Every structure is written in C-alpha cells, then in structure tokens.
Chains A and B, each alone.
Chain A
Amino acid sequence: MSNLTTGSFSIEDLESVQITINNIVGAAKEAADEKAKDLGPLGPSTWPGLATYRDDWNLKLLARYEPVITPMCDQCCYCTYGPCDLSNNKRGACGIDMLGHNGREFFLRVITGTACHAAHGRHLLDHLIEVFGEDLPLKLGQSDVLTPNITITTGQRPMTLGEIKPAMEFTEEQLTQLLATVHAGQESAEIDYDSKALFSGSLDHVGMEISDIVQIAALDFPKADPEAPLIEMGVGTIDKEKPFLCVIGHNVGGVTYMMDYMEEHDLTDKMELGGLCCTAIDLTRYKEADRRAPYTKVIGSMSQELKIIRTGLPDVIVVDEQCVRGDIVPEAQKLGIPVIASNAKIMYGLPSRDDQDVDATIEELKSGAIPGAVILDYDKLGEIAVRLTQVMHPIRQAAGFRTIASDEQMKEWVDKCADCGSCYLVCPEELEIPEAMKHAKEGDYSYLVDLHDQCIGCRRCEQVCKKEIPILSVIEKASQKVIAEEKGWMRAGRGQVSDAEIRSEGLNLVMGTTPGIIAIIGCPNYGDGAKSVYYIAEEFLKRNYIVVGTGCGSMDMGMYKDENGQTLYERFPGGFQSGGLVNIGSCVSNAHITGAAQKVAAIFGGRTMGGNLAEIADYVLNRVGACGLAWGAFSQKAASIGTGCNIYGIPAVLGPHSSKYRRALIAKNYDDEKWKVYDARNGEEMAIPPAPEFLLITAETWQEAIPMMAKACIRPSDNSMGRSIKLTHWMELHAKYIGGMPDDWWKFIRTEADLPLAKRADLMKKLEEEKGWEIDWKRKKIISGPKIKFDVSAQPTNLKRLCKEA
C-alpha cells in the first residue's frame, strides 16, 4: 500500500516507462482528512461504520420507539434452504425468526432507496465535474453551512464539486457494507437491522444532499430563493396544438441538453417541454437562479404517467431513472410515441443508438422501425429528443393518435361490463369500479369522474377484466373535463433553507411559538386521493406552521385552488417562516429538510456539527417541533428518506399503504419509564410528556393525520407560550377532525401557563374534577398534580454523556 495522497512523485532510474494513475484508492479521503485538521471541533463519529451510532444513539432511540413489525407474508425465500414458514415468529432453516427477517425486509428497502439516491448523486457528480471541472464552487445561497448532512456524517465541509468526492466514496463504501448484511446467515436480530436501517437513512440524506447541491451549484438552480418563480402545472396547461416532449423520472442531467437545444434554436415557444415526477421539478429549476421567465412545465406526479400517455398528447417520451413505470414502451407504442431511454439504469431492452448519426436515428424512430432507443450521449440526446418531437407531432396528429376515445366507443366499453367485481378486488386503492360502471351504463358518468383523483393509473384492473375493458381509459375519458381544468401553480424548488432564515426562526421553533415544521414529501400513492395533501397543507398554513414540501407532494399541493381561484403557492409566501409554504425541490432536496433541522441545532443551538450525529439528533428530537408527512409513500426511496428523518429525531406520518413497508416505530404512550430524559445541567432524570409518540406510523385518513402531526410537534423544550400554542392547535384539530377532546391532553400540562389561553378556566376545572389536581382558584394557579415539571433552563437530552455531573 502506498501512502500517497494527491500531488506529484518521482521514481528514479526508470526510463521509457509510462505510469498512468487514474485514482488512488482512499487518497481523496486522506487528502480531505488532512484538510479537516482546520475544521475546528469535531464530534466522536466522523466517517461512521455499521456500529458507530448503534450504542450511542440508535438503540436509545429504538428503546423508546419500538419496531412494530407487520409481515407481508409468512414466508422467507432468500436462500435454497427455504422457503421457510416463519409464521408466529418461527425460525427458518438458517435460524432467523419472523421478526429478524422482516427487519431485514424493511432494511433492504431502506438500503435500496439509499443506493438510488447515492447512485443518482454519483452520476450527477461525475457528469458535472466532467463538464464544469472539480473547482466549481458550491454556491448554494446565503449560507455558511453548505452541507449539513455531509458535515455531520464525515466532518468535511466541501466548498467545490471536487471536494465532495470523499463523502461520495464513503457513502458507496458503506452501502456495500450494509448490503452484505442481507445475505443469509448474516445479521439476524431485528433490532440490529433497525439500527443499520437508521444508519442507512443517515447516508441517504448524504446521497440526496450531494445530488441536489451539485445540480444547484452547476446548473444554476434557485439558491435558497424564497421568491423562486411560479411554474405552470398540470396537463391542462399543455397547448394541444404544439409538439409535446414529455420527460419522466428523476435525473435532470439529460434534460438540460434538451433545454439548451431548444433555447439555442429558438424553440421555447414553439413546443412544450413538460415532465412527470422529479425530473419535472428539476427541469423547472434549471437556470432559474436569476428568476428568468420559465417555459417548461410540471405535468404531474408519478401516478399520472399512464394517464398522460393515454391522452395521446406526448409526441416523444424520454425516461431517465427512478419511479419510471415498466410499461412505458408498450403503452407508448400503441399510440405511436417513440421512447428514448437516457440513463443506463433503465434501458428497457431497447437498441442503443449512441454510435449512430443523429439524422439516421431520427429517421429510424420516426419510421416506427424500433419503438425507441437508448441514447446516453447527452449531446445527441438533446438534439434528437427535440427534433424528433417536432417530426412526430404532425405524423401522430394525422394518424389520430392525439385524440381520445369517442363517446360511442366509451358507451360500447361501459356496456360490456358484467359487474363481476374482479377489478375491485385487485385495485390497490379499492376503488368501486363496478359500481361506477353500473351508473355509467345508465348514463351517469359522475361516479367514474370521482375515481379519477384517487386512481394511481396502475392498470391492475385492466389486466383482470375478462371483458377487456380499458378501465383506466374509461375513467380518464369520463374525466376529460376535469382533466382539462387541471391547471395549477408550483413555486420552483428553491433549494436549501438559508442560515439567515434559520437564525430568524430558530428561537420560535425551539420555544414552540412557531408551532412546528410540517414536511409534506414523497410519492402519490395516497389512500384517499391527491387532494388530501392540499387540505393538510392548507390547514397547517392557516395556523402558521412552516410547511415545507418536496417531490410529488409539492406538486399535488399546488394542483388545487380556493374559491378565489388561487393555489396555495399564490396564497402563502415561499420563505422558511411562520405560515410559509416552502417548496424545497425534488426528492433529493429532502436532504435540506433534515438540513434545516440540523442547522437549527448547529446555528441556533450552537452544537458542533462535524462527526456529531447523536448530539445533533438529540437536540432535534427534544427541541425542534417538526413532523414529516409522506402521505403517498410507495417507493423504497421514501422508506430511506423517512428513516433518515427518524435517525435525526424527526417523526413521520405515512399513508395507510405504508403499513406494507412492514416496520413502523411506535412508542408506548402508557409506559412512564419510556418518557424520561436527562437534564444536561446535572444528569438528573426528568419526566417528559409522551411526544412525539412515534417516529414512523401510518394513519388511515388525511383527517386523522392532521391532529397526529400537530401532536407530534410537541417537544419537551417548549416554553409555556409555545406549549400553550401547540396544545391549542392540536386540541382544536382533534375536535375538528376526530371529535371531542383528546383523552390525554392533560399529560402535556406542566403549569397553568401551558393551557390553551382561550379555554384556561374550563380546562383547569376539568383538571380539578377529572384528574384531582389541586387548583388555587384565587391566583388561578395549579398547585399540584402534573407529573412533569416546567423549568425554563432545563436541558433535556437522551445522551447521558452530555450531562455535567454524569
């Protein structure tokens, strides 16, 4: 092994020998370590491995937030000893039990998500270094803390693209270590899979952070800009007379070449470029740092992929990576839409045309000789995608591919329904299709229209329909009018929360006077329709919570309007402030949400960041009222994003489908032993209220999710005004959406000042009568009763090592 880092060296007495060195393994990290010497104080956990956070933090978290396992099936079939029946927690032939195996299953989802983001980051990093060079500075907005997740994990503070490489390499190395533990006969304890999942979650936020900061810096995205431009959104905004290039996926790399080509050839007003899923969000951020007039559009979330294809409008589809449906090619082919695969992660079995001349490829795709092609060369991709769209438009128009089914056709389909119920049985959303068909037969299509918002466009129903009714097309045809009205606005993803914003909101958040941060993130597999996230966001915005969003959640929040025709993005400011609606960006921008909480701990709380995960997370868990909502989480990435929030002490509520992830983290709110922390001033135990009650849980309806989230924003450190404000919101929301008073509201009361102001006297009476608390009515004071005490200068912590006398 050589001890070389970067730099030059000479070897004497050698002649005519050429030595080529591409990369010295570990050199980047060593060079970075060298530099780290000037970074100031570091915590105990720089460059963590599988065991680093386990005893110091993860097991403490898991002791309160216990893993709740809900297996998908009885079986394990990982190795050829099996399949093994693990029901009732039996052990398989290798010795692993049901709990352990399902911990492994959940963990596998988390590392898959982590790998997706890390690989995305690697692709962008290499690509952007190739184009812009290693020295491109990370200009991300007005912040000193540029890379909170990287810094907490590695101790590094990269300032250029090149300086990110060690953190990238490190993430990849740890992912290999993590993946290895899935093998049969490796880890078998459920709790250790949880600890490893949490570690993977922290790495996921490193991978996401890398992905987003390199694109913000190199592609001129908005840089922590609260007034990033509003972007037109929804299929209704597409001008049907123009050629339409539709891009799907998550990686904006290739799309920037299409945009450059359009701009160079003056085509921005002559054709439509719109996207689905996160590529859509990121293409509307490209070159928007100076808030130029946007021309690209966000069409919608992942669940719209098939629906958009079925409209026939796209003239060309380009896919890149992640959350792209597996049936895009056959579906597109039926409507004469060529598909270009632009990322090696999804090639669909299509022929590669990187080595062929551009004109020849356009000719070939135009002729329909091939249904699509793989084109990884971005220069070619940019030109082909744009030119082909223009070529295909008149051809497809003439062929009638851009018009949807006629009324007669529709009637014929609907009349065929035999009311067999097969579609209902397989529909993942359990939509009452047979009932809607029955009404449609009688000429009432309104029931079909009702299905449109809830339908995720999965096509499972069509595959079981013995009458071969194209059910999705039937729903979409019936909903034509609604779809034409699908026009909204979304603020372009603004990137990080700036240090200045943290400074001005930090105190309010820690004291509780800004009642909380509500993070609406993730995918569109909602249990109750896309509009639910709009209702949730509106409720919290009206109550001055800070609502941050990313990904498909950010889109769906902007798709609906109030009675004045305004979307939430038009009604609420885009800053990280009380009552602000902050679209952070795409899925990878989720790293800036944990980043914001981490920065409250670092900037506001004065905690060391570098290599100090446990202490930062401990601060967030005890003091920063934040709760995530992944209402439609379907993907493995959503599991890793949520788990990354969890290790940092941020709880998340998921939609009902997410029970299928198999593992939640829920605390026993009735076990007083779980609700104690240390006071860092002297190491004494102090009782805290049972909040947050969970780190990962599902809710059945959006109405249920709202009070759960409001309650999950309560933190031990709230001052009395903060506690009173938080309780006011939670109790009002509980009354509004659940009904009546919550049973456990009194558990959060330390003094009379904690009580919601408007109801103080009433509630004191209840405390006296129902709980036997002693009240001094003259002074309007609680004399005795509360189990928890209020001490304005207490320093709640779960880490004994931080206590002075410990």
Chain B
Amino acid sequence: MVDTTKNTKLFTSYGVTTSKAINPDMAAKMISKAKRPLLVVGTGVLRPEILDRAVKIAKKANIPIAATGSSLNGFLDKDVDAKYINVHQLGFYLTDPAWPGLDGKGNYDTIIVLEFKKYYINQVLSGTRNFSKVKSISIGKDYVQNATMSFGTISREEHFVALDELIDLL
C-alpha cells in the first residue's frame, strides 16, 4: 500500500510552533554546551524542594541566576550569583545584542527557565523566540510551547526526580 500518511507537514501555520519536548539528559547537554547560559527563575522557585534544586543547578553548572518576580529573597544566603530583574524586561533585553547582561559581560545565548506560571513565561518567550537567537530551555513541570526545548507536563513528584536527574548529569 502507498503510505499516504508520511507527509503531514502543514502548508501554512495554524496557531503556534511548539517546542521540542526533551528529557533531563538532553537538557543537561544543552546547558553544558551553552557559552553564556542564564538560569531564569520565577517566584514559584521559593517552594523549598525547588529552591534547593535550583541552587544545585546554578552551582554545579556554574550559571548565574536571573531571580525574577519576587524570588531573589530565596537566593541571598545561598552563595550563588543571583540578581533581580523583571522577567518581561529581561525578555526584551535578551532581544538586544547590545545588552550588557546582568554582569556587564554581554548578552546570553541560552536561558534555562524554571517555575513560572506557564502562561506568563510562554508569553515572554514568544518575544525571544520570534525576535532573537537566544535558545530557551524550560525545565519546569509544565510544557512551555514557546521555549526552544521544554520538559512536557509532568507531576510535581516526577518533576523533582527529573531535576535530580538533570543535576546528576551536569
């Protein structure tokens, strides 16, 4: 029989492009490959189990943290390089090659996003996706369509395990 199912590519776009769903190993590989990575965390990171893991990621991979929303308080005594910035503002600055970054050393090539309401980070990332070359990797528990790559939607418990696996692989 002729395989009539093999090419279902749409002739035009309906809705949005979706991100590539990835496992922790792929996320770890992308993070390790990045030249100027930035860990972007939302206020949800203050949940103790997540905060602990975010700190481990930052330390193990030696990544600075953009502590957005009201999340900075969680990092002040954690011996990590965390700075506050509004995430909407950050999304805009990421699209500007001239942005000196949070440390004055220039813009970033990869952002890793964690613990936002999905609708919010998704909207912010629609800007970076369409108007910059920055790669975004979502390692939260919700699938984020506008990221370049993202974990799928998983339960809280699965999420903890996935982050632990990711940390091990860094």
Is A493 located at the chain interface by the 8 A CB criterion? no
The chain A residue sitting closest to B15, CB to CB, is A73
Known: A70-B123, A73-B15. A739 touches B76 (CB 8 A): yes
Known: A98-B130, A700-B120. A664 touches B92 (CB 8 A): yes
A99 CB, nearest partner CB in chain B, Å: 8
Known: A70-B91, A98-B130, A664-B88. A83 touches B14 (CB 8 A): yes
Q: Are A87 and B17 neighbours in the complex by a CB distance under 8 Å?
A: yes
Q: Are A694 and B13 neighbours in the complex by a CB distance under 8 Å?
A: no
Is A8 located at the chain interface by the 8 A CB criterion? no
Q: Are A430 and B117 neighbours in the complex by a CB distance under 8 Å?
A: yes
Is A85 located at the chain interface by the 8 A CB criterion? yes
Q: Are A739 and B69 neighbours in the complex by a CB distance under 8 Å?
A: no
Is A413 located at the chain interface by the 8 A CB criterion? no
Q: How far is the CA of A89 from the CA of B117 in the complex (A)?
A: 26
Known: A656-B117, A738-B72. A71 touches B126 (CB 8 A): yes
Mask of B1-45 contacts with A, CB within 8 angstroms, 1/0:
000000000001111110000000000000000000000001100
Known: A71-B130, A700-B43, A700-B116. A87 touches B84 (CB 8 A): no
Q: How far is the CA of A86 from the CA of B129 in the complex (A)?
A: 12
Known: A87-B13, A98-B130, A668-B93. A701 touches B70 (CB 8 A): yes
Q: Collect the chain A residues with CB atoms within 8 Å of residue B14's CB.
A: 75, 83
Known: A708-B86, A739-B84, A740-B72. A68 touches B119 (CB 8 A): no
Q: Are A656 and B119 neighbours in the complex by a CB distance under 8 Å?
A: yes
Q: Are A74 and B92 neighbours in the complex by a CB distance under 8 Å?
A: no
A672 CB, nearest partner CB in chain B, Å: 12
Q: Are B12 and A83 neighbours in the complex by a CB distance under 8 Å?
A: yes
Q: How far is the CA of A256 from the CA of B87 in the complex (A)?
A: 46
Our pick among B12, B15, B89, B119 for the contact of A666 (Cβ within 8 Å) is: B89
Q: How far is the CA of A671 from the CA of B98 in the complex (A)?
A: 9
Is A657 located at the chain interface by the 8 A CB criterion? yes
Greatest chain A CB density within 10 A among B16, B86, B100, B127 is at: B86
Q: Are B117 and A738 neighbours in the complex by a CB distance under 8 Å?
A: no
Q: Collect the chain B residues with CB atoms within 8 Å of residue A738's CB.
A: 70, 72-73, 84
Q: Collect the chain A residues with CB atoms within 8 Å of residue B75's CB.
A: 739
Is B96 located at the chain interface by the 8 A CB criterion? yes
Q: How far is the CA of A425 from the CA of B42 in the complex (A)?
A: 19
Mask of B45-75 contacts with A, CB within 8 angstroms, 1/0:
0000000000000000000000011101101
Q: How far is the CA of A235 from the CA of B168 in the complex (A)?
A: 53
Q: Collect the chain A residues with CB atoms within 8 Å of residue B76's CB.
A: 739-740
Q: Collect the chain A residues with CB atoms within 8 Å of residue B87's CB.
A: 700
A472 CB, nearest partner CB in chain B, Å: 20
The chain B residue sitting closest to A656, CB to CB, is B120
Q: How far is the CA of A712 from the CA of B100 in the complex (A)?
A: 22
Is B124 located at the chain interface by the 8 A CB criterion? yes
B79 CB, nearest partner CB in chain A, Å: 14
Our pick among A430, A527, A698, A742 for the contact of B88 (Cβ within 8 Å) is: A698
Q: Collect the chain A residues with CB atoms within 8 Å of residue B127's CB.
A: 68-71
Q: How far is the CA of A657 from the CA of B116 in the complex (A)?
A: 12
Q: How far is the CA of A70 from the CA of B76 in the complex (A)?
A: 31
Q: Are A694 and B15 neighbours in the complex by a CB distance under 8 Å?
A: no
Q: How far is the CA of A740 from the CA of B77 in the complex (A)?
A: 11
B167 CB, nearest partner CB in chain A, Å: 24
Is B160 located at the chain interface by the 8 A CB criterion? no
Q: Collect the chain B residues with CB atoms within 8 Å of residue A656's CB.
A: 117, 119-120
Q: Collect the chain B residues with CB atoms within 8 Å of residue A72's CB.
A: 123, 126
Is A428 located at the chain interface by the 8 A CB criterion? yes
Q: How far is the CA of A6 from the CA of B13 in the complex (A)?
A: 56
The chain B residue sitting closest to A671, CB to CB, is B98
Q: How far is the CA of A697 from the CA of B13 in the complex (A)?
A: 29
Q: How far is the CA of A170 from the CA of B129 in the complex (A)?
A: 41
Known: A668-B93, A699-B69, A738-B84. A70 touches B126 (CB 8 A): yes
Is A660 located at the chain interface by the 8 A CB criterion? yes
Q: Collect the chain B residues with CB atoms within 8 Å of residue A425's CB.
A: 153
Mask of A518-532 contacts with B, CB within 8 angstroms, 1/0:
000000000100000
Q: Are A701 and B69 neighbours in the complex by a CB distance under 8 Å?
A: yes
B76 CB, nearest partner CB in chain A, Å: 5
Q: Collect the chain B residues with CB atoms within 8 Å of residue A88's CB.
A: 129-130
Mask of A665-689 contacts with B, CB within 8 angstroms, 1/0:
0101011000000000000000000
B19 CB, nearest partner CB in chain A, Å: 13
B141 CB, nearest partner CB in chain A, Å: 11
Mask of B115-153 contacts with A, CB within 8 angstroms, 1/0:
011111001101101110000000000100000000001
- Residues of A54-93 contacting chain B, CB below 8 A: 66, 68-75, 82-89
Q: How far is the CA of A670 from the CA of B85 in the complex (A)?
A: 13
**5 A-B contacts, Cβ less than 8 Å apart?**
A69-B127, A89-B130, A527-B117, A699-B69, A739-B84
For the complex with contacts A74-B16, A656-B119, A670-B93, 13 further pairs of A-B residues with Cβ separation under 8 Å are A69-B131, A74-B17, A87-B17, A89-B130, A98-B131, A430-B117, A527-B117, A699-B88, A701-B69, A704-B69, A739-B76, A740-B72, A740-B76
* Chain A residues proximal to chain B, CB less than 8 Å: 66, 68-75, 82-89, 98-99, 421, 425, 428, 430, 527, 656-657, 659-660, 664, 666, 668, 670-671, 693-694, 697-701, 703-704, 708, 737-740, 742-743
Closest 6 CB pairs of A and B: A700-B69, A85-B13, A739-B73, A703-B70, A659-B123, A656-B120
